[in-house]
Structure 1
């Protein structure tokens, strides 16, 4: 499957064969790290909701702070990639990632919710650079015919992060103690402040460790010789978003990715909340279901999807998986008890291939618009900022978190259409 025309990107001949392996391993590690920090957000949402006594709508601003950065930084990140290459973009992303992680320490010390949102925004700025670079970079580090499978393989390590991050985060962040508003009101001011401060402080260590690891990865990539793409001059309007949107399949990919990311964030971010409400389990137990259940299903789905794409066209598989998730969303909305939790785990399995598949189908045959198309698809991740607050609003309005999952249901309908017809290449 050709993702870019031969004139768009050029990998040096000396980079062929085994010299591609180390760069691909390093790039693949980035998928794990940004997956790790993203899958800490479902831990942060119920934790900060408890520490700051937030509503569902207020807690959803965690997602908004993260994914609004993708919208604001995607085009600048794409410009950096076109001007200086993928490696420079990756290094900028890793530095911002580390700085944002370290900002969790002063945020916890001040115990101000807005500072946590600011730290998350800085991290997300770094992730925007990483995803804008790493997704197309993975597709060109090897034969064009296996680009979609290679991107899904790299994204599988994003799934591995979905497995381990909730368990590690839940272990390090959750205290296992949750007081009601009445119990807090009955405490002395000193005892209440001590409890809330301890809840805020519990995020310091995991994010400090994460920031140090990310800096070490940045140093390793900096000293490693990596192939880079060279974009040749263009006279066809490349660099103009309106010109890029002449590709109808790119337009539909941007729409589909907006709704897919919104669905994924809604399902994962409120997983613990809905598990606690629908199945009446504790937050620590719910975090293990999020990791061993949701995370393992997501990771397994990535590997299974990569295998199945050898026999089923990626677009067709995307359509089938989306329709299955429409049915599972109905179960999550109307079922009771652990069936609801199992439905969410099933959704994780079937949505695991959606991001990389939409991405690779969307940038197929874009020619010199490939890097700009990549930026536009990454910009569409803003769906993760806008749709979770809608879920939170519905949950607060109806007093039922499950009704909010009508939002992912609608999202999967849109993705199914992209897999069915929207992905077909049409150029205006």
Structure 2
């Protein structure tokens, strides 16, 4: 029988550790590049496919609902084929999703775009199910938040550049005037249809190139020296509670953590994917507003740097989680209540939008704090627990839809009230929820 130390040997070898971290960094860069481009896809589709706010946020719903639907099948796939082959299949599924953008754009069929986004999300669900526990257990649990922060740096750096690259490929300097004319219905009839067809077909070339890169990356992952790991052996603790429990539902800290992941990722995607629409409500055109998601992601990048520097040497990952969830609540209140004109980085806006930008800072370490606390001590249930946490990522699908409903019925600023109960629960999990190891202890 392989002992726990023997299981760690291939992972803890310095050379293998560096290779594994580098490959995981590449994967998390891919996650970020594909995911955060949605921030500009949403307003772009809203114009070119003539959608309401609610309909445009089906982009995030179709993309992230795949995490809920496919997380358990992804765990089964990884158990059957192993990490490397499973990751290759995940990247190939993403390549297929990107290719679906070509017929979708040719026919300007929004439903086919959503199918492509769901397929992209399916591939990401496979990759996330493999990558997150891999990064968590590749070293000491006490420094897991630090490793996740390193992955976050790769993810958010990709998120910063992906909307800018997309904008550079599909947007033109004259588009602001064109979009204004379309929004005011100054262009109608066949001319309008021709313009909308031309707009949407601009996405064909970028997504064809993305499909090719994802397919090749899949082959590279499979042929890489990335070592396989046995998550059941690596994460199996000697604590008697591991052997006593026979169901994943007997781990309250995992269930509460999955809900925390659900709410956190929803708040994060709202802060990034809605900010362009919020900037447009202040009279800022799409060509100028395209940089605002990058501002939020830059703050997130700074947050990850702070996590790498200070966790766990200066502050424990649990205390960092408490601090960040509290800051998230404060910044959310700032988005809702702060007002006043301000000029910053050449943009004349309302003060409240900069609180939305600042939310990227605490959001960086919330995910990194929740994951190791929720998955710790699961033993043989680690893969299934990881799948449950990945299912929590579907918060990205539902919370933006709630925001979209509020934005359509009231206004885009009122929609941010959805953030408040989310951060109140996250504070609860950071302080008390993760400590609950038995349902009977809840009174």
**Deviation of the 1:82 alpha carbon:** 2.4
Structure 1 residues 186 and 21: alpha-carbon distance in aligned structure 2, compared to 1, 3 A threshold: closer
- Is residue 178 of structure 1 aligned with residue 179 of structure 2? yes
Task: Report the count of equivalent residues.
Answer: 416
Quick one: which of 249, 252, 257 aligns to 2:253?
249
Structure 1 residues 302 and 184: alpha-carbon distance in aligned structure 2, compared to 1, 3 A threshold: same
Structure 1 residues 9 and 392: alpha-carbon distance in aligned structure 2, compared to 1, 3 A threshold: farther
> Where do residues 286-297 of structure 1 align in structure 2 (5 Å cutoff)?
286-291=289-294, 293-297=295-299
Equivalent residue, structure 1, for 2:343: none
Quick one: which of 269, 289, 299 aligns to 1:265?
269
> Where do residues 71-150 of structure 1 align in structure 2 (5 Å cutoff)?
71-150=68-147
- Is residue 379 of structure 1 aligned with residue 401 of structure 2? no
Quick one: which of 411, 428, 442 aligns to 1:417?
428
**Deviation of the 1:339 alpha carbon:** 1.2
- Give the 3-state SS of the residue equivalent to 1:203 in structure 2: helix
CA distance in 2, matches of 1:9, 1:373: 23
8 Å Cα contact 1:82/1:231 also seen in 2: no
Name the stretch that deviates more: 8-17 or 330-339. Answer: 8-17
Equivalent residue, structure 1, for 2:370: 358
- Give the 3-state SS of the residue equivalent to 1:423 in structure 2: helix
> Where do residues 274-313 of structure 1 align in structure 2 (5 Å cutoff)?
274-278=278-282, 280-291=283-294, 293-309=295-311, 310-313=313-316
8 Å Cα contact 1:57/1:396 also seen in 2: yes
**What's the CA shift string for 1:177-208, capped at 9, x where partnerless?**
3044575464341x212210111112112212
CA distance in 1, matches of 2:361, 2:263: 17
**What's the CA shift string for 1:333-355, capped at 9, x where partnerless?**
23343312211110011111122
Structure 2, unaligned runs of 5 or more: 340-348
Structure 1 residues 164 and 181: alpha-carbon distance in aligned structure 2, compared to 1, 3 A threshold: closer
> Where do residues 51-66 of structure 1 align in structure 2 (5 Å cutoff)?
51-66=48-63
**Deviation of the 1:47 alpha carbon:** 0.3
**Deviation of the 1:356 alpha carbon:** 2.4
**What's the CA shift string for 1:36-78, capped at 9, x where partnerless?**
1111101010000011121111111111101110000001111
> Where do residues 384-395 of structure 1 align in structure 2 (5 Å cutoff)?
384-395=396-407
CA distance in 1, matches of 2:326, 2:143: 26
Structure 1 residues 352 and 242: alpha-carbon distance in aligned structure 2, compared to 1, 3 A threshold: farther
**What's the CA shift string for 1:314-363, capped at 9, x where partnerless?**
12211211111112112212334331221111001111112222111110
CA distance in 1, matches of 2:11, 2:315: 34
Name the stretch that deviates more: 11-20 or 38-47. Answer: 11-20
Structure 1, unaligned runs of 5 or more: 1-5
CA distance in 1, matches of 2:184, 2:293: 28
Tell me the TM-score normalized by structure 2. 0.88
CA distance in 2, matches of 1:9, 1:387: 43
> Where do residues 334-349 of structure 1 align in structure 2 (5 Å cutoff)?
334-336=337-339, 337-349=349-361
8 Å Cα contact 1:48/1:54 also seen in 2: yes
